[in-house]
Structure 1
Amino acid sequence: MAKPVADTFSPSENAAGYVSDDNPVLGFSHMHDSGTGGLPSLGNFPLFVHPGCPGDDFTRCAYSLTFRTTSRVPGSVTAAPGYFAVNLTNSVRAEMTATQHAVLYRFGFSGDEHVDVLRDLKRPDEVEKGVPYSPLVLVDLVDLMNSRSLGGILVSPETGRVMGEGRYLPSFGSGKYDAFFCADFKGAAIRKTGTFVGNDAAENPKILDGVGSGFHIPGGSAGAWLQFERPTNNSLLARVGVSFISIEQACENAEKEIADWHFERVESDARKQWREKLGVIEVDPTGVSEELQTTFWSGLYRTLLSPQNYTGENPLWNSTEPYFDSFYCIWDSFRAQHPLLTIIDPIAQTDMVRALLDIYRHEGKLPDCRMAFCKGFTQGGSNADVVIVDTFVKKLTAGIDWDTAYEAVVSDAEVEPPNWGLEGRGNLVSWHSLGYIPWDDTDLNGTGPMSRTISRGVEYAYEDFCIATLAEALGHAEDAAKYRRRGGNWRNYWNSDQRDVFQDPNDVTVQTDYTGFMQPRLVNGTFRYHNTRACSPVQEMHRCYYDTHLDTYEGSPWLYSFYVPQDMATLIQLMGGPAAFVDRLRFFHTSGIAYMGNEQGFLPVFQFHYAGRPGLSAYFVREYIPALFNASVNGIPGNDDCAMGAFSAFAMMGFFPVAGQDVYLLSTPFFPEVRIRARTEGKWSVIKVWGFDPEGKKKYIQRAKLNGRMYTKNWITHDFFLKGGTLELWVGEEEGTWGTKEADLPPSWPVEWADGGGVGLDDKF
């Protein structure tokens, strides 16, 4: 829960607090959500440290966000699992490490009797010269989003303890949440204490109550401050406990978890925990560049940052079940992150599913997005259904109430909530009766953005297919047949006559040879036109967000026309057969239409497998890594959501999941050997590459053996990761015949399909 880092000012996006640019530091806060898009999240109660105040006058120090921002010393940042450090141009060095619910900061000073303070590297002429050395630490009630509405803070002049609370807004949802902190300091005697509002500081009062209620606070800043004598070792420690329950619990968290105030011990423990988490995977790095190794391991690291374990910190209800938060959003994470957790951290993944079901018990619906105990906006379908079914088919069953799980996913499929913009699904009457969501639908049962009819529709169809899988396994045969049929509703969006038409850079209308795309439909069954390339990098990229009036979400009809993981065989037929499908998918990846910065772009990289061309999947993996996924500052093509790292990790290990199915599509690893600890005690799942080429020229699998026997399928099941074993791959520079025959292709589940009333649908299939 505790994730300290320097918060930086960014006019564009600082959702996780820190941004690798040259903007100044605002402070050091204790909780963050990593990798999200949208508005910044958390970042409550930041500390800021001055080495002293001009003229030794505390009122002349800068307190508010508007005035205190200070540049980083270029090249001074150090980041590692469990540790972050940066030097500021005001001569302060900040180091930080964490336990589960508490943070330990170590602030270092030059030790000079007087220091020259430079706040802004861009204004070197504005140096405060000769500032007396007497550190001042302030604690601000603000959060990253500057959303606080209420709050209070208290500083004890005797002990130096600072305690406070605030009420804040979630970054991508509805509601509010309360947060609490407790800060103690060690290493120097206290000279003075007080409080501040805006940039005005005073020694009295020592308490602020109801701050923000009834009067304006510039920059949102208000809090407490402490000025210290010179630290004995030129080092000052700050211990901050955080809680969502109470100030008392925040203090207890800090006292329990960092009783010894030992920075190296806390850092070492954090590093050991990360090594244990990451130690389930081993790779042979022989010949592999340091950049690719960094890309791989940092991707795995980011995969494990969220959702966040808030067990014991849930203020909404009492439960013996685990509680996880920061599902940002399941629409992003179900495709890669959660499937990776089923392999490398099955205990956490199981607890996350249990937490999702407990949210259902107490709030009536599974979330799609959830943060800070608030309901987040639903971006597409009810994708927690896929996470639950994926967990089931991967045999992670310990402690999961599958009766409740089935009840929850059926509720998504059948019961429309009053606000399906925050949970569940909308337009269910039409979905059940027509088999699609009409563009001009009248929904009398709930409210939400009446948009995204294509992207929601293909997601609803796949979720219903997944529900059918669970229904069949649990013995609900009639339900299984019903949801399997609904899983074919994607066909109702397929307009076989729709052409790919666009304007070239010279405003000339161009029409390609590609025909047949997912398109929106009206209540009367006719199709409505949605430009096939709209909301892609080549056309109107940023028109399809949550509040869009268009029919796709963060992607184009080109992209969503490939999203039929339950029935790729039928889709390939509709697109003209395997050769035509391969040509179309290759064009998608080479024309600029594809965008890897959103998670829907992941699976199409590997969908060549379904047309008998697994080598092309391996080819395009190598095109995207390291071109877009690398160790540079810009080495993540979109906001991470803990999913970008999961994609690169999967791809570099040589397989990728079809979430909701017991299917992993095989490609060539980026290492000569990958070892993954299996769930069977003492066993490892080992992938060996014979003829490995560090340059990636030998990217095509020629033949394979699984546990010593020839293996021709281009996919494997989760049993490989459950029981362990050895998969050997022989690679070469040219595509071979491995994995190309019909018997070698991943499974597909065609369904008997009835025209949902549309025009232009081909009834042959």
Structure 2
Amino acid sequence: MHLNFKLLLLSLCACTSLALAAEPKLAQWRDLPPWLRSSAEGPVGDATPLAGGGTVIGPSLPFGSIHPCPNTQGKTNTGYNAYKPIFGFGQLSVSGTSGGGAYGHVILSPQIGLATAAGSHDSEKSNEVASPGYYAVKLTRYDILAEVTPTHHTAIYRFTFPSSEDAHLVLDAGSPRRSTDSGELTIQPDGTISGTVTVSGGWLGKPIPAYWVMQTSRRPIAFGTFLNDTLSAGAEREKSVKPKDRFGAYLRFSIKADEPLLVKGAVSLRSVEQAKKWLDTEQPKWDFEGTAKSAMATWDRALGAIEISGGTPLQRQTFYTLLMHTMIMPRDRTKDGPVAFGDMPYWDDQYTTWDTWRTLFSLMSLINTDMVRGNVNSYIARHQVLGRVDDAFVGGAGGGTSNAHRQGGDNPTNVITDAYVKRIDGIDWKAAAAIVKQDAENRREATYRANGWSALGTLNSPVSHTLEFAYNDACAAVLARGLKMPEADAWAARSKRWDHLWNPETESQGFRGFVQPRKSGNSWLATDPTSMQNWTGPAFQEGSAWIYSYFAPHDHPRLIALHGGPKAFVTRLEHALTKKLIDYGNEPSFLTLRLFIDAGRPDLCSYWVRRAMNWYGPFKMPGDDDSGAMSSWYVLSAIGLFPNAGSDIFYLNSPTFPKVALHLANGRTLTISAPDTSATNLYIASATLNGKPLDRAWLRYEEIMAGGKLEFTLSDKPTNWAQNAPPPPMEFSQRRTGRSTGCHPTIHSLTFVVDCLLALSHSGSGGSQWTTQDIGANPKLTKGESVRGWFRLKRQKPPVKK
């Protein structure tokens, strides 16, 4: 059965107020499992069977600024716990995050009677309905049906009360999850409430101001304000006096059961005037149905970028739920950032780039290049206005981490280079290169800049930081070579020094050789390679020596050689996976399963990818969704294309669905077919690209973007397909001049030679291994057509395996 995104829309019998849910076009999807609570959080935070990686259950538009969400008591990053009563609806949220969340400003609470104190108006719920662009729930305490649907910067609510002379709408300006620093509001007799509030707390801990305007479809019969426990009937203004004050407003209405109250509001991070402008332009009418239909149509276009056929209902539901999660954050707040940004591109809620550079941006480079372009141009704007580009950027604030500006590595460099090698247009590359240069020359840790590795005590998690800095340098070198920057060779050389932290004597579970922390005097600090470390290290961030000993995305031949060569590498990686020493549900291991392809075993890649995908579902994930990073991992794995982000390489694995139509951002379509795919038929026996045999387990970005047909024949037994093919090249291809997707014949010839040398480097066995060493770009190529570089072979003794 062919499927599009509308399987996510619900039509639960007890809640039928949304007219569009009855359209025949949607009825055909009602036999599919509901998406309801695919993002709900359980009673102890995110660890619950209903959790979808801590994502927001409320509706939004793709990369929209506003994200209304029901709120419950307790500390959760989204503000919502599926098992607790609802006390109101917040307007700003972060999705799929850990570390403290953010926002929670401007809570709307419909109720019968008036209760403003915290915990005094919570309501049990029923008939909860959720879809990407619409949310509804019955607040059973008051018998109120609450519905909400968004535009990019605004939301419109429809509250259906029972007949009452005492219907109230309470606006709590602050955040019950954060610390309210200051704020003020104004009420007009027609029911308009506007104001500003600044809250602190959450992961970055920086104050985040928000400005809002709310309007009601009918005039209240009474209104007032509150400050903590003090009500002020008839008051038109209120403001906080000290930090942590609770302040807000209330409106009273006389309502009949068949007369819903509409409330529309806009929230800006710039000014009240800007919020009013958003409200006037995006919600000029009181049209709830029209807004909902428009939101659904927007999601139809966004999720329609990938059409799938076949698979089980659960697989289809999982796929589209997670695809939707890839389009929540970061958020496009162009013209809504701080005044200094003016109309410059401004993308907010980068929470964090350490997560999203690995999968999310590469996925969008296939289906939404506008998103990639917007984010890189936003980096340029932030660099010009703020003087730097932080890895984390939430609510207009960067920094705030223990390492001043990064979670791990200088990851905007990877996003910039990924866009560069994929030839995303509309970007000032010299301005982008200034960001890359600043990070490489000034912001990497000092001992890393000097030596190519960070010593213990220089910063948290020096081993994992070294590995990530090395990849940052490799990406920076690719950009620099394309732009003829003089620093290119130095950065490329420094990117190869990560192996100074490889201790060939460290032993664990019968294997020798692991990355380990080194002291400033070059002596080693012995650690247990199986020991998992958290955010603060001391040696590894969110990982162990086992995990990070597989992380060198730019230097896989060297990595494999240090493990003892392809055969030993495969044996050790299978051991690590079998013994659950690799956390492939967390970012440091996102690429690890694809290393089987570099080692000549694509069959094992497909096998372990399918195993890993079992951790995902519409109601579950192996961890926080991390701003769509985890969801992107699943989506890319399901269609059989997975990036080595920062390069133009996509690894292949067996697709989950018999047919995938990948509608590319350039208007072409790549049809991926695997008609015999199943839970057991997961090994690739053969493949063709546009009718020609494909004997390698990777494609270049330009091959994908050319469109056409990628066809797989699958088997239920391991095969030798592509086992003798060259592994993916490790010196990333340079951005060529012009817009042609073709390649100069000389480049094709050199590529073949380099690939053969790389293949030779993997074919050794016994007492020595051949490895490749980059000695610079080809000086004979001109006009920016530098290929992956000349290579020489050198012999090297492999580490000893006990």
| TM band (smaller chain) | 0.7 to 0.9
1:522-671 matches, cutoff 5 A: 522-535=519-532, 543-545=533-535, 548-626=536-614, 628-632=615-619, 634-635=620-621, 637-671=623-657
Distance 1:277 1:658 in 2: 24
**Structure 1, unpaired ranges of 5+:** 54-60, 112-131, 417-424, 442-449, 501-511, 536-542, 754-761
Structure 2 residue 117 is the aligned partner of structure 1 residue 64: yes
Out of 345, 350, 358, the residue aligned to residue 381 of structure 2 is 358
CA distance in 2, matches of 1:344, 1:212: 49
User: Distance between the aligned counterparts of 1:671 and 1:268, measured in 2?
Assistant: 29
Q: How many Å apart are 1:67 and its aligned residue?
A: 2.2
| 1:436 aligned residue | 453
Does the 8 A contact of 2:470 with 2:496 survive in 1? yes
1:496 maps to 2:527:
no
The one-letter code matched in structure 2 to 1:71 is E
2:470 alignment counterpart: 461
1:732 paired residue number: 715
Alignment partner, residue 198 of structure 1: 228
The Cα shift of 1:324 comes to: 0.4
Give the counterpart of 1:486 among 489, 494, 501.
494
Residue 340 of structure 2 aligns to a residue whose secondary structure is coil
CA distance in 2, matches of 1:308, 1:144: 23
Equivalent in 460, 464, 471 of residue 451 of structure 1? 460
1:748 offset after TM fit, Å?
2.8
1:516, distance to aligned residue in structure 2 (A): 0.6
SS at match of 2:379: helix
Aligned letter for 2:236?
Answer: K
2:677 counterpart (686, 690, 693): 693
Q: CA shift at 1:549, angstroms?
A: 4.8
Counterpart in the other structure of 2:766: none
- Would the alpha carbon gap of residues 321 and 273 (structure 1) be closer, same or farther in structure 2, given more than 3 Å must change? same
Name the SS for the 1:134 alignment partner. Answer: strand
Is the CA contact (8 Å cut-off) linking 1:22 and 1:72 kept in structure 2?
Answer: no
Letter of the structure 2 residue corresponding to residue 70 of structure 1: S
Tell me which amino acid in the other structure corresponds to 1:470: L
CA distance in structure 1 between the aligned counterparts of 2:347 and 2:624, rounded to whole angstroms: 24
Secondary structure in structure 1 of the residue aligned to 2:674: strand
Contact in 2 for aligned 1:499/1:515 (Cα 8 Å): yes
Alpha-carbon separation, structure 2, partners of 1:231 and 1:489: 73
2:552 match: secondary structure: coil
Per the alignment, residue 30 of structure 1 pairs with 91
2:663 to 677, 688, 709: 677
What residue number does 2:431 align with?
A: 404
Structure 2 counterpart of 1:751, from 763, 768, 773: 773
CA deviation vs aligned residue, 1:182-235 (integer Å, no higher than 9, x gap):
111115x522110112243230432112x0427x63xxx310001100246241
Matched residue, 2:15: none
Q: What's the RMSD between the two structures over aligned residues? A: 1.9
Aligned positions, number: 669
Change (3 A) 1:578 1:373: same
Alpha-carbon separation, structure 2, partners of 1:292 and 1:110: 40
Q: How far is the alpha carbon of 1:603 from its aligned partner?
A: 0.9
Partner of 2:155: 103
Return the alpha-carbon distance in structure 2 between the equivalents of residues 212 and 544 of structure 1: 39
AA matched with 1:342 = S
Partner of 1:704, secondary structure, is strand
Q: TM-score, normalised by structure 1?
A: 0.85
CA contact (8 A) 1:630 1:636 kept: no
1:298 and 1:110 map into 2 onto residues whose CA distance is 34
Q: Secondary structure at the match of 1:621?
A: helix
CA contact (8 A) 2:551 2:589 kept: no
Question: Per-residue displacement from partner, 1:22-69 (whole Å, max 9, x unpaired)?
Answer: 11213101121211112131121110011x22xxxxxxx321223222
In the alignment, the residues of structure 2 paired with residue 401 and residue 43 of structure 1 have an alpha-carbon distance, to the nearest angstrom, of 36
1:600 partner SS: helix
Equivalents in 1 of 2:105, 2:206: separation in Å?
17
Question: Contact 1:454–1:552 (CA<8 Å) still a contact in 2?
Answer: yes
- Residue 96 of structure 2 contacts residue 624 of structure 2 at CA under 8 Å; is this kept in 1? no
Following the alignment from structure 1 to structure 2, what is the Cα–Cα distance between the partners of residues 440 and 5? 42
Aligned counterparts, 1:382-421, within 5 A: 382-398=410-426, 400-416=427-443
Shift of 1:381: 0.6
2:238 corresponds to which residue?
Answer: 208
User: In structure 2, how many angstroms separate the alpha carbons of the residues matched to 1:43 and 1:290?
Assistant: 35
1:63–1:200: 8 Å Cα contact kept in structure 2? Answer: no
Q: 1:722 aligns with which of 705, 723, 727?
A: 705
**1:247 and 2:247 equivalent?**
no
Residue number in structure 1 paired with 2:479: 470
Task: Give the match's secondary structure for 1:317.
Answer: helix
Amino acid at match of 1:711: L
Tell me the amino acid that sits aligned with residue 544 of structure 1. Answer: N
1:341-366 Cα distance to aligned partner (Å, 9 max, x none): 11111011111110011111222222
SS at match of 2:361: helix
Shift of 1:520: 0.6
> How far off is 1:153 after superposition?
1.3
> 2 CA distance for matches of 1:680 and 1:246?
37
Residue of structure 2 in register with 1:506 after alignment: none
Distance 1:339 1:298 in 2: 19
Q: 5+ unaligned residues in a row in structure 2: which ranges? A: 1-64, 732-771, 776-794
**AA in 2 matched with 1:726:** K
Read off the aligned partner of 1:275 and give its amino acid letter: D
Distance 2:83 2:585 in 1: 23
Aligned partners of 2:306, 2:439: CA distance in 1, in Å? 36
2: CA distance, partners of 1:205 / 1:678: 55
d(CA) in 2 for partners of 1:316 and 1:527?
A: 50
> Which residue of the partner structure matches residue 230 of structure 1?
255
What is the rounded CA distance, in whole Å, between the counterparts of 1:457 and 1:763 in structure 2? 23
Report the CA distance shift for 1:255/1:296 in structure 2 as closer, same or farther (over 3 A): same
